[in-house]
């Protein structure tokens, strides 16, 4: 626990150093693609113009380099073959560097695999003096009862969601307020240690320093949900290549995250198996002709499957689009059922607002907006990520929701547990702060 | 001619028959021939680790700056340094420089062919030609104009000089000569001095310049200005004047013919002289038998008579008193 605490703190320092230097890279390691964006923080505020707003103060950066490459060696959002993934990361980083014409040393990465699991934890402590001090906040965070999440798992996010002072709940910042008892609700997200370590190792092999790690569910939520959705409560579903991330936001905090280990790649493999065609062809047919709602027209639209087998009969096959939809739809339904289960497990039906936002590459299937409401409920929309300054047109699609979210995360990270002060009791015995505290208590 | 590759004869997928079979056959034939060049695998788009590192290194601003700005400079400097490290290269280089320099300097445009002296008398011009001796034509780069100017100005007869190379390759020397104002008789002989007491030239005989007044005595040459003032004040006495004598480096004696001397005081000698002149005009003082008019105390002028005059005076007094000394 403290280990990770230290590691996260080190990452935050690294992020600060990167911002000082002004250039930081964003790495979205997905199952189907790896995206790398290079951000430049020059401090100048971009104000409006060209239909782009000031982005609520988050426009202090601009994207100066962007590159995507086909992901290799990743399954279900987890790294399966490290040399392959390392190569893919290298490709993406080098291309982005070339576009940015600068070298990046710091990278903030996100991934969606690793079985994310959410915990809501609470802590309570008596306020030491009259008013709540930073130390009180630190103590209440330290006093929260961390569940036993297993030895092979690590905490990826631990965000204080709500502070409560005596009977007043919903405080964003309790410092300086007068009260007796301070309580905190925290949302903690854990993932498999091995997943993180594999990713860190791959990034390290590329001579890059990790300046932050984030969950894919979280970052796609902060980019695809608009502000009032985050405030009132909404779920973001990122239909990715190998995993579908679900995150629930409330009062601008993520309160739940989970992932369904199914995604677009499964649809592709279904097509490949069902039509007996290579994987690449299946992917092409899916993106060109894929759909979810078959009409009479689709029976007559024949798709040339093609092939390289050399067998004329085999290479001249055609399928109707209705057949293709018949293959795609059950799998997408299955994915959405999985999402439904996640939402049910999280108690989404008790939320005041039932908004669901679908994003990610999978959300571009035509007909998803008619299929999804049948499974997920009426308030479903297809979300695209926020526009950030300098992002190339090719990278503004729904598939880049988590990359864009990671940009916002890099610019304005939410306060996490490790951003608060360390409670004085936990300082080493010879610390100056501890001595100061002793003086304060005794004089 | 390129050896025939059996794979070229393999039927394509569109030509009917199985391409895979023909490809396998072709591969087998190729293997039997010992030609084991494997068909190219699809290129890996990923950069190798080294390529990636080199790329990052190249994108490092400091490294880039070093390689693009500093490294070429350093390479050139190193080459030059290595070339100059050898003694014979160095001498060859300096020789070449010297050669080029002299070639440029000796161009006809820069040559000085003759010297023109303006404002100097014949004798002075001769002197100048003597000290500024050089063999024309000479390059104007080789002329040491300040040095020559100093030499020329060191000449006593030259008050000021200007030296420049005129268009057409002429070394022009403009001279302002000193005009002698007095003759100074010293132990070393006769010398002419100008109005400021500066030496102009030596004079063999007094008679060569009868127009100039004569001064003598120790320290006389330092007080030429005062001497000239006295001479000017002595206007009516000038025809009789033989010269001025500086006495004890503090005051002047005016020496007239018939060995008459007017001793002037240290201070305000002009006033005293004017007094004498007035006396002379009124009473014809100097026309009488007076040896010395002593004006060292202007309030009490004293006159010394000659021997004969004294005797005459005694005689006259004796006549008055009825006494004869003889």
pLDDT in tens, B207-242: 888 888 888 888 777 888 888 888 888 877 888 888
Query: Helices marked H in A25-113 — which ranges?
Result: 82-100
> Which among B13, B19, B52 is the nearest to A94, CB-wise?
B52
Residues of chain A with Cβ-Cβ distance to B19 below 8 Å are 310
The tokens 């006259």 sit on which residue?
B316
The pair phi, psi for residue A117, each rounded to 5°, is: -135, 135
Is A83 in the B-facing interface, judged by CB distances under 8 Å?
A: no
Residue (of B51, B43, B66) closest to A97 by Cα position:
B51
Query: Helices marked H in B86-175 — which ranges?
Result: 87-105, 122-131, 145-154
The tokens 């710091």 sit on which residue?
A106
Is A40 in the B-facing interface, judged by CB distances under 8 Å?
A: no
Inter-chain contacts counted by CB atoms under 8 A, chains A and B: 41
pLDDT of B17 > 60? The answer is no
Pairing mode, if any, of strands A181-192 and A153-165? antiparallel
Residues A126-144 have pLDDT tens digits of 988 888 888 888 888 888 8
Given an 8 Å threshold on Cβ–Cβ distance, is A103 in contact with B45? no
Residues B207 and B165 in one domain: no
Q: B297 lies in a domain? A: yes
Given an 8 Å threshold on Cβ–Cβ distance, is B18 in contact with A310? yes
Residues of chain B with Cβ-Cβ distance to A87 below 8 Å are 44, 46
Residues B196 and B271 in one domain: yes
Predicted local distance difference test score (pLDDT) of residue B325: 60
Token pair listed for B8: 């070229």
User: Which chain A residue has its CA at the smallest distance from B56's CA?
Assistant: A103
Predicted local distance difference test score (pLDDT) of residue B291: 83
Given an 8 Å threshold on Cβ–Cβ distance, is B45 in contact with A91? yes
Cis-peptide into B153, omega within 30 deg: no
What is the band of B5 on the pLDDT scale with cuts at 50, 70, 90?
low
User: Which chain A residue has its CA at the smallest distance from B57's CA?
Assistant: A103
At residue B193, the 3 state secondary structure works out as: strand
The residue ranges of every structural domain in chain A are 117-191
Q: B214 lies in a domain? A: yes
Given an 8 Å threshold on Cβ–Cβ distance, is A97 in contact with B55? yes
Given an 8 Å threshold on Cβ–Cβ distance, is A90 in contact with B49? yes
The pair phi, psi for residue A71, each rounded to 5°, is: -75, 145
Predicted local distance difference test score (pLDDT) of residue A51: 47
Residues B246-257 have pLDDT tens digits of 888 888 888 888
Is A81 in the B-facing interface, judged by CB distances under 8 Å?
A: no
> Which among B18, B19, B52 is the nearest to A90, CB-wise?
B52
pLDDT of B8 > 90? The answer is no
Q: Assess contact for A413 and A212: CB atoms under 8 A.
A: yes
Residues B162 and B189 in one domain: no
Q: How many other CB atoms are there within 10 angstroms of residue B306's CB atom?
A: 16
Query: Taking residues B24-30, what's their average pLDDT?
Result: 74
User: Cα distance from B61 to chain A (closest Cα, Å)?
Assistant: 8
Residues B184 and B303 in one domain: yes
Query: Helices A216-224 & A401-411, crossing angle to 10 degrees?
Result: 90
Given an 8 Å threshold on Cβ–Cβ distance, is B47 in contact with A311? no
User: Cα distance from A33 to chain B (closest Cα, Å)?
Assistant: 14
Residues of chain A with Cβ-Cβ distance to B46 below 8 Å are 87-88, 90-91
The tally of CA atoms less than 13 A away on the side-chain side of residue B164 is 3
Residues of chain A with Cβ-Cβ distance to B47 below 8 Å are 90-91, 94
Is A87 in the B-facing interface, judged by CB distances under 8 Å?
A: yes
Predicted local distance difference test score (pLDDT) of residue A1: 44
Residues B173 and B184 in one domain: no
Kindly give, in sequence order, each residue whose CB lies less than 8 Å from that of residue B173, ignoring residues fewer than 6 positions away: B115, B116, B117, B118, B120, B128, B132, B152, B161, B162, B163
Mutate to test the interface with A, among B56, B64, B65 (most CBs of A within 10 A): B56
Residues B132 and B151 in one domain: yes
Residues of chain A with Cβ-Cβ distance to B44 below 8 Å are 87
Is A69 in the B-facing interface, judged by CB distances under 8 Å?
A: yes
Given an 8 Å threshold on Cβ–Cβ distance, is B53 in contact with A207? yes
Token pair listed for A276: 């007996």
> Which among A87, A101, A207 is the nearest to B46, CB-wise?
A87
User: Which chain B residue has its CA at the smallest distance from A104's CA?
Assistant: B56
Q: Nearest 5°: CA angle at B54, between B51 and B56?
A: 110
Domain boundary among B152, B177, B202: B177
Name which CATH class applies to A117-191: alpha beta
Q: Nearest 5°: CA angle at A410, between A406 and A412?
A: 110
Query: What does pLDDT average to over chain B?
Result: 82
Predicted local distance difference test score (pLDDT) of residue A418: 78
Tell me, what's the ipTM?
0.79
Is A316 in the B-facing interface, judged by CB distances under 8 Å?
A: no
Predicted local distance difference test score (pLDDT) of residue B22: 67
Residues of chain A with Cβ-Cβ distance to B45 below 8 Å are 69, 91
d(CA A283, CA A268): 5
Domain boundary among B161, B177, B193: B177
d(CA A34, CA A70): 6
User: Which chain B residue has its CA at the smallest distance from A103's CA?
Assistant: B59
Kindly give, in sequence order, each residue whose CB lies less than 8 Å from that of residue B235, ignoring residues fewer than 6 positions away: B277
User: Which chain A residue has its CA at the smallest distance from B45's CA?
Assistant: A91
d(CA A212, CA A214): 7
Residues B147 and B210 in one domain: no
Q: B6 lies in a domain? A: no
User: Which chain A residue has its CA at the smallest distance from B21's CA?
Assistant: A310
Given an 8 Å threshold on Cβ–Cβ distance, is A206 in contact with B52? yes
pLDDT of B28 > 90? The answer is no
Given an 8 Å threshold on Cβ–Cβ distance, is B59 in contact with A103? yes
User: Cα distance from A75 to chain B (closest Cα, Å)?
Assistant: 19
pLDDT tens for the 443 residues of chain A, in order = 456 677 888 888 888 888 888 899 999 999 999 999 999 887 655 554 454 444 544 567 889 999 999 998 898 888 999 999 999 999 999 999 999 999 999 999 999 888 899 999 999 999 888 888 888 888 888 888 888 888 888 888 888 998 999 888 888 888 888 889 999 999 999 999 999 999 999 999 999 999 989 999 999 999 999 988 998 999 999 998 889 999 999 988 999 999 999 999 999 999 999 998 888 889 999 999 999 998 889 899 999 887 777 788 888 889 999 999 999 999 999 999 999 999 999 999 898 888 999 999 999 999 999 999 999 988 999 999 988 888 888 888 899 999 999 998 888 788 887 777 777 666 666 677 777 777 877 77
Token pair listed for B71: 């490294």
Residues B185 and B316 in one domain: yes
Decide: residue A241, CB within 10 A, 0-12 exposed, 13-18 middle, 19+ buried: buried
Query: Helices marked H in A129-263 — which ranges?
Result: 134-143, 193-205, 216-224, 227-232
Decide: residue A382, CB within 10 A, 0-12 exposed, 13-18 middle, 19+ buried: middle
d(CA A67, CA B189): 107
Domain boundary among B177, B205, B236: B177
Kindly give, in sequence order, each residue whose CB lies less than 8 Å from that of residue B270, ignoring residues fewer than 6 positions away: B229, B230, B233
Q: Which range of residues forms the domain containing residue B218? A: 180-321
Query: Taking residues B42-69, what's their average pLDDT?
Result: 88
Mutate to test the interface with A, among B52, B53, B55, B64 (most CBs of A within 10 A): B52
Given an 8 Å threshold on Cβ–Cβ distance, is A103 in contact with B13? no
- Which DSSP string do the residues of A176-192 spell out, in sequence order? T-B-SEEEEEEEEEEEE
Q: B70 lies in a domain? A: no
The CATH code of the domain that includes B166 is 3.10.20.310
d(CA B233, CA B280): 14
Is A103 in the B-facing interface, judged by CB distances under 8 Å?
A: yes
Residues B147 and B172 in one domain: yes
DSSP code, position A131: B
Q: B45 lies in a domain? A: no
Residues of chain A with Cβ-Cβ distance to B59 below 8 Å are 97, 101-103
Residue (of A340, A359, A347, A344) closest to A404 by Cα position:
A359
Q: How far apart are the first and last CA of chain A?
A: 34
Query: Domains in chain B: how many in total?
Result: 2
Residues B130 and B208 in one domain: no
Mutate to test the interface with B, among A71, A103, A106 (most CBs of B within 10 A): A103
Residues B243 and B116 in one domain: no
Query: Taking residues B81-94, what's their average pLDDT?
Result: 94
Residues B271 and B299 in one domain: yes
Residues of chain A with Cβ-Cβ distance to B18 below 8 Å are 310-311
């Amino acid at each position: 626990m403290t280990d990770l605490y230290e590691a996260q703190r080190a990452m935050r320092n690294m992020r600060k150093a990167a911002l000082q230097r002004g250039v930081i890279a964003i790495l979205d390691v997905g199952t189907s693609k790896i995206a790398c964006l290079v951000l430049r923080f020059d401090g100048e505020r971009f104000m409006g113009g060209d239909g782009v707003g000031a982005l609520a103060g988050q426009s202090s950066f601009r994207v100066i380099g962007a590159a995507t490459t086909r992901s290799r060696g990743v399954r279900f959002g987890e790294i399966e073959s490290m040399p392959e993934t390392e190569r893919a990361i290298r490709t993406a980083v080098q291309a982005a560097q070339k576009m940015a014409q600068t070298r990046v040393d710091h990278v903030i990465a996100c991934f969606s695999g690793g079985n994310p699991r959410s915990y809501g934890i609470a802590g309570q402590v008596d306020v030491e003096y009259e008013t709540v001090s930073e130390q009180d906040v630190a103590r209440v965070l330290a006093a929260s009862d961390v569940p036993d999440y297993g030895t092979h798992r690590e905490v990826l996010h631990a965000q204080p969601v709500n502070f409560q002072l005596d009977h007043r709940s919903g405080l964003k910042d309790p410092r300086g307020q007068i009260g007796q008892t301070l309580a905190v609700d925290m949302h903690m997200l854990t993932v498999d240690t091995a997943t993180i370590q594999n990713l860190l190792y791959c990034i390290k092999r590329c001579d890059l320093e990790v300046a932050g790690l984030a969950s894919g569910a979280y970052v796609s939520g902060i980019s695809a949900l608009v502000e009032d959705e985050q405030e009132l409560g909404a779920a973001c579903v990122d239909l990715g290549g190998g995993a579908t991330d679900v995150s629930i936001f409330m009062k601008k905090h993520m309160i739940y995250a989970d992932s369904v280990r199914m995604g677009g790649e499964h649809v592709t493999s279904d097509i490949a198996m069902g039509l007996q065609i290579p994987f690449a062809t299946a992917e092409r047919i899916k993106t060109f002709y894929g759909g979810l709602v078959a009409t009479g027209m689709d029976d007559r639209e024949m798709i040339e499957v093609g092939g390289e087998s050399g067998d004329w009969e085999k290479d001249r096959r055609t399928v109707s689009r209705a057949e293709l939809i018949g293959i795609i739809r059950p799998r997408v339904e299955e994915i959405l059922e999985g999402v439904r289960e996640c939402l049910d497990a999280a108690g989404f039906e008790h939320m005041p607002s039932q908004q669901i936002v679908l994003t990610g590459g999978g959300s571009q299937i035509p007909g998803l907006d008619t299929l999804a409401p049948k499974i997920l409920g009426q308030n479903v929309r297809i979300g695209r990520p926020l526009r950030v300054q300098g992002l190339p047109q090719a990278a503004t699609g729904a598939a880049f929701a988590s990359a864009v979210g990671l940009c916002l995360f890099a610019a304005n990270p939410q306060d996490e547990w490790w951003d608060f002060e360390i409670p004085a009791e936990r300082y080493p015995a010879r610390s100056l702060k501890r001595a100061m505290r002793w003086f304060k208590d005794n004089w | 001619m390129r050896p025939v590759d059996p794979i070229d004869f393999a039927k394509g997928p569109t030509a009917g028959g199985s391409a895979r079979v023909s490809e396998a056959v072709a591969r087998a034939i190729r293997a039997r021939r010992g030609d084991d060049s494997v068909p190219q695998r699809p290129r890996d788009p990923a950069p190798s680790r080294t390529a990636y590192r080199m790329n990052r290194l190249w994108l490092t601003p400091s490294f880039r700056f070093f390689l693009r700005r500093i490294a070429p400079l350093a390479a050139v400097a190193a080459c030059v340094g290595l070339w100059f490290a050898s003694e014979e290269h160095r001498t060859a280089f300096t020789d070449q420089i010297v050669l080029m320099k002299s070639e440029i300097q000796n161009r006809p445009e820069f040559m000085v062919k003759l010297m023109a002296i303006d404002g100097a008398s014949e004798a002075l011009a001769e002197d100048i030609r003597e000290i500024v001796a050089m063999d024309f034509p000479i390059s104007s780069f080789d002329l040491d104009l300040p040095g020559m100017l100093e030499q020329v100005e060191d000449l006593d007869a030259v008050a000021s000089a200007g030296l420049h190379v005129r268009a057409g390759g002429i070394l022009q020397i403009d001279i302002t000569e000193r005009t002698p104002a007095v003759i100074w008789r010293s132990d070393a002989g006769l010398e002419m001095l100008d109005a400021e007491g500066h030496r102009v030239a030596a004079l063999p005989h007094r008679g060569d310049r009868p127009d100039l007044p004569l001064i003598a005595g120790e320290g006389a040459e330092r007080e030429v200005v005062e001497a000239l003032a006295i001479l000017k004040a002595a206007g009516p006495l000038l025809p009789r004047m033989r010269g001025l004598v500086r006495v004890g480096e503090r005051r002047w004696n005016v020496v007239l013919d018939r060995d008459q001397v007017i001793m002037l005081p240290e201070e305000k000698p002009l006033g005293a002289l004017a007094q004498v002149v007035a006396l002379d005009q009124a009473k014809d003082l100097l026309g009488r038998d007076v040896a010395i008019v002593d004006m060292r105390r202007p309030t009490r002028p004293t006159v010394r008579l000659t021997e004969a005059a004294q005797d005459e005076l005694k005689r006259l007094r004796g006549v008055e008193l009825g006494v004869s000394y003889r």
